[in-house]
A and B are shown apart, each in its own frame.
Chain A
Amino acid sequence: MTESQTHTPLPDLTIHQALAGLERGDLTAVELTQAVLARIQAVEDQIQAYLRVTAEQALAQAEEADRRRQQGERAPLLGIPLAIKDVLVTEGVETTCGSKILQGFIPPYTATAVARLEEAGAILLGKTNTDEFAMGSSTENSAYQTTRNPWDLERVPGGSSGGSAAAVAAGEALGALGTDTGGSVRQPAALCGVVGLKPSYGRVSRYGLVAYGSSLDQIGPITQDVRDAALLLNVIAGHDPLDGTSLPEPVPDYTAALTGEVKGLRIGLPEEYFVAGIQPEVEAAVRAAVAHLESLGAEVLPISLPNTDKALPVYYLIAPAEASANLARYDGIRFGYSAGAENLFDNYRLTRGQGFGPEVKRRIMLGTYALSAGYYDAYYLKAQQVRTLIREDFQRAFQQVDVIAAPTSPTTAFRIGEKIDDPLAMILTDIFTTSANLAGICAISVPCGFDSQGLPIGLQLLGPALGEEAILRVAHAYEQSTDWHKRRAQLPTSAS
């Protein structure tokens, strides 16, 4: 037994620690998977991160992984148990997107990102909870259950990938996939004290990702540390002929970017991100993190992203407009719930009225309105024009700096129920994250401290399109010279 395994319970190992242990023969994939399944058993009553756990399938995959390793096979994630957000389709395993309208839906194929994880030897533990169709910032919009933040069970894990973030924070998976349309990987990662990466638009295939906002959606890893995020990105990134919007660019080895060295790197600090309403402890922690990076040799430059305050209103016109078109497919005919009404048009209306939850209906209504005759130019077209300005802000900034530093979320985790009745207040939690999606650039959230109540704070690092290596490098150098990522949530039962 090595140092790390003597002290670290198996479910709390990072992916790279577990891979090293598997390689040395200190542990098997079956032992690791059994330990994670036991952790799920012990804490899931309280955390409720999973919509379904596929224990049998996971153990079968673990046995297969051990067999492959014994035969001398090596694959990048051979024997690593991971969780998948339930908006990614998985052949033969129910996929609901947290919605009643897809209850019982068994996909006939698997999303490319998930298939690539499986080809790399990963073990799939199950499907994690999400706001319905990934619409929300707290996972409270799930039609099935409320996921709790492992750091404080009275608080939300963030969203919409709250199930994935909570699972990783609680050791219910070594890593997970989430999806990020306006912050849905980064914000829950920040609120749960883990790492969340939103790749550049086009970096990861969206094939098999149930569409919300097609020009904004990206799949990204949620992990305990930055090296693990790089390991997962290595596997899921790259061109896919099944997604015409996936970029035909080569994929580097992202772990090669983790040099620990930031000397001479230019980090931009946009004053527009430190606005009224931000929790003072969040601002202090992020500014301290930037000062820390400066002490490591990075050059910090003030920059301006003048259209920052327009990102959220633009997002809340474009994302619902795209959603209203994407969600037209739920017609009660080809799959999913059907109200069974006699008349075709009544069946559409009733199926959708009964099958969708309130937030989904609200966004479909908003998007339909923004696209409707007489309002298209004033809302949808106008939003797309302002989107151009937001994009140009970043293009100008990245001529001056390599990476931009900002808070991920304006506050730490809020209380369950606190914002659910006020849609506008909920929307405002995305104030620092939507601009990366609108501009199509990459961004990562990495732990950078705790507030006075012991809740985690996230530092957001943004890079240009296909600039994943730069943000991973800075995030890693920061992480490795601080201790925040080593702190683990105190779990509800003293799990093994």
Chain B
Amino acid sequence: MKLTVDEVKHVAELAKLALTEEEIQQFTEQLSAILDYAEQVQAVDTSAVPPTPYVLPLVNVLDEDRPRPSLPTDVALANAPDREDGYFRVRAVFEE
């Protein structure tokens, strides 16, 4: 499984990661090697095997709908890099 530089750039875009040219080169090689290794799973016949996304026998864990104390606004915002008037401050999503 040989990844191309363009594929690595595409995945970095999907993952919202700014990578340096050096990282792109490095990851192209390293991820190809890891995917080669992971390729072993392809040899297993799984035609009649259901997937296991999680191991617990629990389905639809429900809880009583009751109000509980939550974090005060100032505490919830205390770690925010940028805030204003009790809100997280975010850069414009749409450009003019």
Contact = CB atoms under 8 A, between A and B. Distances in A.
A386 B44 contact: yes
A244 interface: yes
Interface in B51-76: 51-56, 58, 61, 63, 71, 75-76
A228 to B, nearest CB: 27
Contacts of B95: 343
Contacts of B41: 310, 313-314, 317, 379, 382-383, 386
Interface string B23-41: 1001100110111011111
Interface in A369-414: 369, 372, 378-379, 381-389, 391
Given A365-B17, A379-B38, A386-B46, A215 B53 contact: yes
A365 B8 contact: yes
A350 interface: yes
A245 B7 CA distance: 36
A267 interface: no
B67 to A, nearest CB: 14
A177 to B, nearest CB: 22
B28 to A, nearest CB: 10
Given A349-B17, A368-B14, A202 B56 contact: yes
Contacts of A343: 91, 95
Contact of B52 (A344, A358, A384, A465): A384
B15 A388 contact: no
Given A343-B91, A388-B50, A388-B52, A368 B79 contact: no
B16 A334 contact: no
A106 B78 contact: yes
A276 interface: no
Task: Among B7, B8, B78, B91, find the residue whose CB has the most chain A CB atoms closer than 10 A.
Answer: B91
Given A245-B58, A335-B79, A313 B37 contact: yes
Q: Indicate the size class of the contact surface on chain A.
A: 35 or more
B52 A387 contact: yes
Contact of B17 (A105, A353, A384): A353
A353 B31 contact: no
Contact of B79 (A201, A202, A334, A382): A334
A389 B40 CA distance: 14
B17 A364 contact: yes
Nearest to B16: A348
A345 B61 CA distance: 36
A362 interface: yes
Contacts of A389: 44, 46, 49
Specify the main secondary structure of chain B where it touches its partner: loop
Specify the main secondary structure of chain A where it touches its partner: helix
A356 interface: yes
Given A108-B78, A358-B23, A313 B38 contact: yes
B79 A106 contact: yes
Interface residues of B, number: 53
A247 B56 contact: yes
A427 interface: yes
Contacts of B86: none
A332 interface: yes
Contacts of A245: 54, 56, 58, 61
A179 interface: no
A424 B44 contact: no
Nearest to B46: A385
A104 B7 CA distance: 35
B93 A365 contact: no
B30 to A, nearest CB: 5
Interface string B1-31: 0010001100110111111100100110011
Contacts of A342: 91
A4 to B, nearest CB: 41
A382 B14 contact: no
A310 B91 contact: no
A335 B78 CA distance: 8
B15 A307 contact: no
A338 interface: yes
Contacts of B92: 344
A109 B72 CA distance: 12
B61 A365 contact: no
Contacts of B93: 344
B50 A440 contact: no
B33 A309 contact: no
A104 B78 CA distance: 11
Interface in A293-352: 307, 309-310, 312-314, 316-317, 324, 328, 332-338, 340-350, 352
A277 interface: no
Contacts of B26: 358
B63 A241 contact: yes
A241 B26 CA distance: 44
B78 A344 contact: no
Nearest 7 CB-CB pairs, A to B? A440-B55, A353-B18, A384-B51, A335-B79, A338-B81, A385-B46, A349-B18
18 contacts: A108-B76, A201-B55, A244-B63, A324-B15, A333-B80, A334-B88, A336-B81, A343-B91, A344-B90, A344-B93, A361-B17, A361-B27, A368-B15, A383-B41, A389-B44, A389-B46, A391-B55, A424-B34
Given A215-B53, A317-B38, A333-B82, 7 more contacts: A201-B56, A244-B61, A310-B40, A382-B46, A383-B41, A384-B52, A388-B50
